[in-house]
Structures are given as C-alpha cells and as structure tokens.
Structure 1
Amino acid sequence: MSDLRVLVGYSPDDRGDDALALASLVARAAKVPMTVANVHPPAWPSRGPGAVDTEWVAYLREQSAAALRQAEERIAGLKVPGRDVEFRVHAHRGSGRGLIDVARQVEADLIVIGSAPRGRRDRIAIGSTADQLLHGSPVPVMLAPRGYAGSAPGAFERLTVAYWRRRDVEAPLQVAARIATSLGLPVRLVTLVLRPPGLPARFLGADDVVQRQYEQAEKDLAHAAGLLAPHMEVTTEAVQGAGIAKTLGTVDMRPGEVLALMSSHQGPLRKVFLGESSGKILRAAPCPVVVLPRGSVRGRTR
C-alpha cells in the first residue's frame, strides 16, 4: 500500500468539508493523488415523459457539479496540488454503495468520509453512507469526526490499533502497518481490558480474572508487536477500565492521532464489517478512525 490511492466522498456541507480536510492530510502525508466523488440519486426507476426525465437528470448532475466546484475551492486552501486531484460524479441510490463503485473504478485503497451531521462535535456518528460502507467496503474506510475541518492538526502523529488477538488478526494488522508506513507513522497497539460492570476497582485483587486477562493482553500485545517489528516502530499498551467509552477515555491521544479498528470476525472475508465492540469504540473515539477489512487485502479494489 505504498502507492496508497485516496477516495473522498464529498457533499457540500460540514461533513464534506471534514472528510476533505482528513483526506487532504492523508494525500499530503503519503504524497499520493486523491479522487473527490459526489454521489447523486439516479433517474426515476420508471420512465416518465422524456422531457421530465431529461430535466431531472440534468438537475442532479448540475447539483453534483456545483458540489465538486465547492470542493475544488476548499482544496485550494488545503495544500494539495491541483494536478493530484481528480473529480468524479456518480449516480447510485445509496451514497455509500455508490462510493464503493467509484472505489473500484479508480482502484482506491482507502475511502474517506465525514461524520453524520447529528453527531457530537469531535466524535463520529454513523449515518446511512457510513453504514453502507462499514458493512461492505472492500477497502479500509476512514471517518472524520464532526468539526474536524476546523480543528485538523498540521500532520498525523501516530496510528493506534485497537487490538484483540484472534484467529484472523494478522492480515488486518498488516494492512494497518502498511497504512502507517504510507503515512510515515509509528504504531501503537492498545487492548482495552474491561472489568465486569458494577464491580469497583478496589475489589480487584492480584489473582482475579481481570488481572489474568490483563496479563494475557500484555502477552498478546507483545506477540502482535513481534509480527510488525523490526520493520517499524511499535509500542503496546493494555488499559483496564469499566466500559469501552470510559476506558478509551483514559488512553492518551495525541492531536494527530488516528485510530484503527479491525472488522468483526463474523463479517464477510475481505470486506469491512463493523462489530458491536468496534462500533462502541468508533463512537467514543476523539480522533479520525479507520476501519480495516477482515482478512487479506491483496492489491486494490476490483
């Protein structure tokens, strides 16, 4: 993935600007081209009078063209060379599925979108576009928190991977490593060790089940770090807490942090599929999140 190709889904609103700011950071860090796409609805499924159909399609295309003109204006202030940006208009009933189509057309390695507008500032909310992508994209999906365009750092600083050891973990871990290499980032592997709800920390002794889970997590993290080293800088951290959101809140996050999540092992092979735990982490994360497909990703989308 050293020749990372970035596709950003753009809409003429705040979430589009957030996605564009994040994708521009990726393109600059990896020194790669970027495709900006706007997906509009298709023509009516049942044909009506020819003039009505023609006018409707023309209107949809003009709206998309206007959105991309706005994106071009935004890009001018994001330090991305214009020659490295391509613009695409695509018709599809689902914006997320439409972006998957465009990703195949341009052979994208990464799809970037913004948060749904109803989300909290500096957090990610899943809307219909994200839902479609997070349950079927063949390439990693990166999401910008709400308001990211107004608070984006000058550069990325680190890629943190939310890690749990399991049978098929090596392939997405290697994808995360390739993304980190493309962006020139060190990798941190973090495991959240959750104690049973309602059990105060003072009742946790050295021999309890949570302590044993913590010790096992440290061993698993060391094993995972060994899979990546000596090719890159890797650190590990096991964190105890009650509940995913509260525990993640105790993890140090740099201004230029990116958090990587692995897809659920119950999802389809070589596709993104957000599981329950990963979904909770995504919603609680205070930084951009990239969700990795399950299984190996060989080359680009087809």
Structure 2
Amino acid sequence: MSASDFDRRSVGGHILVAYVATDYGKDALRLGIALAQDRNVSLEIVMVAPVHNSFSGVYPHDRGYGSIVEEQIAGWLQEALDEVPPRIPATARIVPGASEAEALNQAAEDLHCDVIVVGARKDGLLGRYHMGAAVNSLLHSSTVPIALAPRGYAHPGPLTRVTTMFGPRPGTSDVIAIGLDRARRREIPLRLVSLVIPGESELVALGNDVPAAVAAYADRVLADIAEEMVASGHATTEVATGRNVEDAMEELSWEDGEIAIVGSSRLAAPGRLFLGGTAARMLRSIPIPMLVVPAGYMRVGKGTSTTKDGEN
C-alpha cells in the first residue's frame, strides 16, 4: 500500500473541550480551537455539574435561569463561546455527573467526539503540566484520545506538524497509525521519532533505524506507508536517545504549532487509555500539546490502513 492510498475514513467531526472558567480551562479551549482551525469539525464545550442540579443542557437556551448558579455557569459558557472564531461551529453545554471524568468520557461518546481536550493546572511540573483529579482519572480510563494543553498554551492554529513518539512497547501501532492518519488528513508534515533508552529494551540498536523500527514495533503495512511518506518528503525520521527519557527529549526541537502523540501503557485494558511512566516523564520535558491514545484505538490489517474512526 502506498501513502497515496492511505484510507481517509469517516470521522465524528467533533472535539470535546473540557471547560472550566480558569486559566487551564482557557488553555484547553485554545487547544481545541487550534485543533479545529481549517478543519471541518465542531467544538463541544462541556462543563460538568453535580447530578442533582436542574440546569443541564445546551447553552444558550430560551428559558430563564432558575438560580444564580445557573446564570453564572451560563455566563462562563457564553464567555467560552465568544472566544471561538465565527468560522468554527461550537456548542456549549452542561452535563450532569457524580464523576467529572466519567461524565466527560460519556459525553464524548454520546456526542461522537474524536478527542477530549483538557488543560493543565497552574502549579504544573516545570510550569507546564499538573494533572487535576479528573484529568488524572481520564488518563487512566478514557475510551477516547486525550489531548493535553500545556500551561499557557496560546498557538492559534492550525497545527503545523505531528510528531509520533514510539519505542518497543505495546501501543506502537496505535501511535504510528494515528500519526500517519492525522498528518495526511491535515496535509502537514509528520515526524517519526524512535525513542531509544539504553537498558530499557534488547532492541535498542534497532531503534536507531527508524523505518526498521516501525516495521518491527508496529507492522509492515504501517512501515510501507511511512517509508513512502518519508521518500516523498511528507515525513521525517529522528532518533531520540539518552540515559533517560528527559535526556532523550532534550535532543528534540519543537514547533509552536506541533502536537506529540504517545500510546498507552501495557497496563491499559483494550479500548482504554492508561498513561504509562514513559509518557508521564515526557510530559515533564516537552512544551507542546500531547495526545494520548487508548490501547487498540487504531488497528491495521492487510489491505487497509486503519479501522477506527477519529479526528484530532
């Protein structure tokens, strides 16, 4: 299969922004806008309220507000809607839930969203990321890819490059497949980065040959597509190596409009996301958004490139 034959699948076309009226909620909104720029997708701006509330639904709505709290929430949602450029369709809504993470994941499934966008709290590691309870729960249970906006994210979009971070661990096929797919959909460059940490795998030497690593860690179909994209100039390859993940990340340069893609841990249940130790250490070192993919989210077989719908 050549890169020109890469399957352009039907997609949900919706991005869920997990919104709160805070700095990190606004970071998530800005990343959602950046992801939607120049794409035929819409934003679902969602706030979660306790299950016993009486004011769930889409905003703005026609009826009057029943309480000061409802009026305040409606005001926050209107402020979020006002930030979205007119050319990007956006809907704001409140969803009820005893668990914020479960409510967000359920809303993403009900609304056929292809990604949940979340922000980092103010006291993030190295000023970039700190996960609140809801985000941490999503990173260990979501059935939908999670896009993490670093603190102070301000790139207006559209995205300029997709970087896949992979190694000899479970989830490599998910990462490479979604990277290939998203780069082609957006018609932006793809960077395939082989992460090589001595002592963590007997396949360290193989990781220095990125096309061979793609074939070994993922499969031949993906390797063929990646190889043609590299040959045509639509993709590049790099090796990031060091004594540890942090050292390896220092070897890489980043663009303002870039997004990095990582896979789930081997501990992830099929169809679920589980942020592993390597990806968590990457969060401490990179200044750009990171997309974490659930286990088995992208599946590749003979004669087809991917079989899972999605749009990020």
Number of the residue aligned with 2:223: 226
Number of the residue aligned with 2:296: 295
1:143 offset after TM fit, Å?
0.7
User: In the TM superposition, what whole-angstrom CA distance separates every residue of 1:232-255 from its partner, at most 9, and x where no partner exists?
Assistant: 822221122122122202211122
SS of match in other structure, 1:30: coil
**2: CA distance, partners of 1:72 / 1:242:** 45
Bigger Rg, structure 1 or 2 = 1
User: In the TM superposition, what whole-angstrom CA distance separates every residue of 1:114-163 from its partner, at most 9, and x where no partner exists?
Assistant: 112221576222211211211111111101100013xx154322111110
Number of the residue aligned with 2:49: 40
**2: CA distance, partners of 1:284 / 1:216:** 21
Number of the residue aligned with 2:38: 29
Contact preservation (8 Å) 1:8, 1:34 = yes
- Change beyond 3 A, Cα 1:300–1:160: closer
Number of the residue aligned with 2:17: 8
Number of the residue aligned with 1:269: 270
Contact preservation (8 Å) 1:137, 1:293 = yes
1:30 offset after TM fit, Å?
2.3
Write the letter of the residue equivalent to 1:96. A
Q: Which has the higher helix share?
A: 1
1:262 offset after TM fit, Å?
0.4
**1: CA distance, partners of 2:229 / 2:86:** 29
One of 140, 147, 159 as aligned partner of 1:156: 159
- Change beyond 3 A, Cα 1:81–1:132: same
Unaligned runs of 5+ in 2: 1-8, 54-65, 299-307
How many pairs does the alignment contain? 271
**2: CA distance, partners of 1:5 / 1:274:** 23
**2: CA distance, partners of 1:80 / 1:227:** 40
**2: CA distance, partners of 1:36 / 1:74:** 11
Number of the residue aligned with 2:97: 92
Q: TM-score, normalised by structure 1?
A: 0.79
**Aligned-pair RMSD on alpha carbons?**
2.8
- Change beyond 3 A, Cα 1:60–1:157: same
Number of the residue aligned with 1:50: none
Q: TM-score, normalised by structure 2?
A: 0.77
**1: CA distance, partners of 2:244 / 2:107:** 38
Contact preservation (8 Å) 1:10, 1:19 = yes
1:105 offset after TM fit, Å?
1.7
Contact preservation (8 Å) 2:33, 2:156 = no
Write the letter of the residue equivalent to 2:42. P
User: In the TM superposition, what whole-angstrom CA distance separates every residue of 1:4-49 from its partner, at most 9, and x where no partner exists?
Assistant: 32111111111111111110011113231111111122328xxxxx
**1: CA distance, partners of 2:134 / 2:68:** 22
**Pairing 1:62-101 to 2, within 5 Å after superposition:** 62-75=71-84, 79-81=85-87, 84-101=89-106
One of 120, 128, 133 as aligned partner of 1:123: 128
